[in-house]
Amino acid sequence: MTQAAPPGLTLCNNAMLRRATRKLGQFYDDVLAPSGLKATQQGLLYQIHIGDDPAMGAIAAALIMDLSALGHTLKPLIRDGYVETFADKDDRRIKRVRLTPRGLVKLDEAMKLWSLAQQRFEAMVGKDEAARLRAALDDIAALDFDTPPAAPSK
């Protein structure tokens, strides 16, 4: 049984979001474990698949990651033969990513497991609530936090 958040955490948006993210991430990782992939890897394979040989910069921007973190996450997928990188035909400075045939098979396996996790989550929180949660999180991800907050009044 999960414990309620300590009172100090409930006042912090960041702490509560991270707590929920860890809990949900563990759940998806556990369901995806038979595929040998973590949920982050499954999500990355899916983004590459739907991206039509996307540029690494575009993937990083879509996932709100820096390029070095993306490269770190791609390394085991490249090592295991699921993904390959290649230079853009028009601008060799741009590195693109695609799934290999082996990666397509692994993605199909992982998506079946992901679907089970998704169904279980929606059964627990409700389909409409899950959709509202995804929309709210997408809205938050779209906010511009780069502008520093105004200094408090004296």
Q: Answer whether 32's CB lies under 8 Å from 42's CB.
A: yes
Give me the architecture of the 13-141 domain, per CATH.
Orthogonal Bundle (1.10)
Taking all residues of the chain, what is their mean pLDDT, rounded to a whole number? 92
pLDDT at res. 153: 75
What digits encode the pLDDT tens for the residues 45-79? 999 999 989 999 999 999 999 999 999 999 999 99
Residue found by looking up tokens 């992982």 in the block: 110
pTM listed for this prediction: 0.85
Q: Hey, how many other C-beta atoms are within 10 angstroms of the C-beta on 20?
A: 13
What digits encode the pLDDT tens for the residues 2-24? 667 666 677 889 999 999 999 99
Q: Is the dihedral of CA 21, 3, 131, 28 positive or negative?
A: positive
Domain ranges of the chain: 13-141
